[in-house]
Homo-oligomer: A and B are copies of this chain.
């Protein structure tokens, strides 16, 4: 196995976030499930957009956010996902490249417009996502850049893509390429409803192909029909090499066979917008994991990155995370493997 020249390749939905404030009554009036992600079609997207308030556009997408987090930490990251050759596609492409992430997948020249997620932020700072996948849904095996997957220590996949058959095929292909090259595969479960929809398929994929799984408490409990977090923890540790389980303000638990670490959340002055917390935790953990940090310190870097992203609006880091991490992770370098 040759040395990796990329730390992480992230595969996910290429989306532009359209953020607006909304009252709870707006969610009720439009039948929007609070706090989760709902897939919507183009007609519904246009209808909701007409009804919602003035918005701000900012590049997003779960795995795209993770890729920018890895780059912000000083890691080498690439992103695989699909946009159209329209203005939103140009915005997505600019933003991820400007963050230092390689993004070389060909833009679709026809078909649906670049995908977007209309994120309604209620006064309690919760966000409810309404995602029109658009061009992202056409991501398939042909879009997997083999050389990048071979070159990356970890290929990380966003569970949200599991809804799309071509993307699922791309996941399987990327897993074969990565493992044949002696690399690792990582998956985030993304959403408890998605886990429910594809429970058996996802369990099978995790067991057979995933080396590092990311999940929050709800997602991992859903995957194993576990009554509580501890039961899910015991189930997942039998199924993949490393599991990084996040629990919001309760911090995270990293489990790798016999090795178990409890990582506290990093306190933040004010939680402004929780969008991207899980994405940035994954970024920090994977940066640490691919750069010789211990599992515990990798989890701590994840917590620092998540803490940064929830302290401002938007799901990508605003501060250079490398400097922030160096300041907060004072003991980490001494503990490098």
- How many whole Å from A122's CB to the nearest CB in chain B? 15
Q: Which residue of B lies closest to A51 (CB)?
A: B98
Q: Is A68 an interface residue (CB 8 A)?
A: yes
Q: Which residue of B lies closest to A316 (CB)?
A: B54
Query: Which listed segment binds B: A55-63, A144-152, A169-177, A196-204?
Result: A55-63
Q: Is A50 an interface residue (CB 8 A)?
A: yes
List B contacts of A56 (CB < 8 A). 56-58, 314
Q: Is A113 an interface residue (CB 8 A)?
A: yes
Instruction: Determine if A52 and B98 form an interchain contact, defined as CB atoms under 8 angstroms apart.
Output: yes
CA distance A193 to B280 in the complex (A): 44
Q: Is A250 an interface residue (CB 8 A)?
A: no
List B contacts of A98 (CB < 8 A). 20, 52-55
Chain A: interface residue total (CB-CB under 8 A): 26
Instruction: Determine if B87 and A55 form an interchain contact, defined as CB atoms under 8 angstroms apart.
Output: no
Q: How does the 8 Å CB contact mask read for A13-41 relative to B, with 1 for contact and 0 for none?
A: 00000001100000000000000000000
CA distance A52 to B57 in the complex (A): 17
Query: Which listed segment binds B: A88-96, A240-248, A289-297?
Result: A88-96
Q: Is A205 an interface residue (CB 8 A)?
A: no
Instruction: Determine if A55 and B95 form an interchain contact, defined as CB atoms under 8 angstroms apart.
Output: yes
Q: Which residue of B lies closest to A314 (CB)?
A: B56
Instruction: Determine if B49 and A94 form an interchain contact, defined as CB atoms under 8 angstroms apart.
Output: yes
Interface of A is mostly: mixed
List B contacts of A207 (CB < 8 A). none
| Listed residue (A53, A57, A58, A316) with the most chain B CB atoms within 10 angstroms of its CB | A57
Q: Which of B49, B91, B96 contacts A57 (CB 8 A)?
A: B91
CA distance A55 to B43 in the complex (A): 28
CB interface residues, A 39-83, toward B, < 8 Å: 49-50, 52-59, 68
Instruction: Determine if A58 and B57 form an interchain contact, defined as CB atoms under 8 angstroms apart.
Output: yes
Q: Is A108 an interface residue (CB 8 A)?
A: no
CA distance A87 to B88 in the complex (A): 7
List B contacts of A49 (CB < 8 A). 94
Q: Which residue of B lies closest to A17 (CB)?
A: B56
Instruction: Determine if B94 and A68 form an interchain contact, defined as CB atoms under 8 angstroms apart.
Output: no
Instruction: Determine if A95 and B54 form an interchain contact, defined as CB atoms under 8 angstroms apart.
Output: yes
CA distance A99 to B52 in the complex (A): 10
CA distance A20 to B87 in the complex (A): 17
List B contacts of A55 (CB < 8 A). 91, 94-95, 98
CA distance A316 to B54 in the complex (A): 9
Q: Is A249 an interface residue (CB 8 A)?
A: no
CA distance A87 to B87 in the complex (A): 6
Q: Which residue of B lies closest to A94 (CB)?
A: B49
New contact pairs (4) apart from A54-B99, A87-B87, CB-CB < 8 Å: A54-B59, A55-B95, A56-B58, A56-B314
A–B Cβ pairs within 8 angstroms, 21 of them: A20-B98, A21-B318, A49-B94, A50-B94, A52-B98, A53-B98, A53-B99, A54-B59, A54-B68, A54-B95, A54-B96, A54-B316, A55-B91, A55-B95, A56-B57, A56-B314, A57-B57, A57-B58, A86-B86, A86-B87, A87-B88
